[in-house]
Amino acid sequence: MGNIFMSLKDVGNKVPIYKLKTTEEVMKYYDEWGVENKYNNDMKEWNYTGPKETVDTFKKYSTNKDSIIFDAGCGTGLVGLQLKRFGYNNFHGADLSQKLLDTVPKDLYQKLIKVDLNKPIDIKDSFYDAVMCVGTFTFAHVKPQALDEFLRITKSNGLICFTINEGIYKEYGFDKKINELKKQNKWKELEFFKSDYIASKDINAWLGIYKVLK
Ligand SMILES: C[S@@+](CC[C@H](N)C(=O)[O-])C[C@H]1O[C@@H](n2cnc3c(N)ncnc32)[C@H](O)[C@@H]1O
């Protein structure tokens, strides 16, 4: 007879990055992961579908291809490649790892900046039409408070679209934060569902898209 604990997924043990604790460790790990295209090769091997699923959802609600989009935690630019595929032409990338930013294909993004998304972002209020954040709400990466900054830099009626690794969704308080923002009428939920993400490793993510109310 099965143990009840066997039905709980131990997501935190599945991928080495999930064991990291500090922002320093996370940065160092990604700096090394980018060498010789290893991150992109691993994502291909794992059949990581986060960028495609997120942009597929985003494009249903964002018909203006000239929208100015902030890709928060852009890494090697996998979300940028999907945005370009669907005709978006005006997006900026931001990431903690300069080494990953250096691997982003030239001219894919109009601008790339190095940022720590756990701190205030040096961008003026209501600048972007949309924020995308894929794969970056996960173990020891970026905390729920970053959603306040995403709201601040997004225009009224703009969109915020993100994934949250299922393993930290409750533990880090994303569930509470999302509901608080709904109750405060800071945003309206358009979709929120469990996406495949890294199904090959049995790791799924919540995928949400919200309309900003100001
Ligand atoms: C799993 S990768 C996802 C990258 C890309 N969005 C994708 O889907 O391939 C997570 C990214 O978050 C970045 N990251 C982690 N902590 C961060 C922080 N505090 N501020 C900004 N970026 C961070 C990492 O450098 C890495 O590029």
CATH number at residue 59: 3.40.50.150
User: Residue 61 half-sphere exposure, CB side, CA atoms within 13 Å?
Assistant: 22
Whether 150 is in a domain gets the answer yes
> Over the stretch 132-168, which tens digit does the pLDDT of each residue have?
999 999 999 999 999 999 999 999 999 999 999 999 9
> Over the stretch 90-128, which tens digit does the pLDDT of each residue have?
999 999 999 999 999 999 999 999 999 999 999 999 999
What is the whole-number distance in angstroms between the Cα of residue 96 and the centre of ligand 1?
7
Whether 2 is in a domain gets the answer no
Q: How far apart are CA 38 and CA 11, in angstroms?
A: 22
Q: Quick check: CB of 132 below 6 Å from ligand 1?
A: no
Whether 121 is in a domain gets the answer yes
> Over the stretch 168-189, which tens digit does the pLDDT of each residue have?
999 999 999 999 999 999 999 9
Q: Quick check: CB of 73 below 6 Å from ligand 1?
A: yes
pLDDT (average), residues 19-43? 95
Whether 3 is in a domain gets the answer no
Question: Can you give the pTM of this predicted structure?
Answer: 0.96
Whether 31 is in a domain gets the answer yes
Range of the domain at 163: 11-212
What is the whole-number distance in angstroms between the Cα of residue 200 and the centre of ligand 1?
20
10 Å Cβ neighbour count for 23?
16
User: Can you give the chain as a three-state secondary structure string?
Assistant: CCCHHHHCCCHHHCCHHHHCCCHHHHHHHHHHHCHHHHHHHHHHHCCCCHHHHHHHHHHHHCCCCCCCEEEECCCCCHHHHHHHHCCCCCEEEEECCHHHHCCCCCCCCCEEEECCCCCCCCCCCCCEEEEEEEEEECCCCCCCCHHHHHHHHEEEEEEEEEEEECCCCCCCCHHHHHHHHHHCCCEEEEEEEEEEEEHHHCEEEEEEEEEECC
Whether 5 is in a domain gets the answer no
Report the number of distinct structural domains present in the chain: 1
Whether 159 is in a domain gets the answer yes
Whether 52 is in a domain gets the answer yes
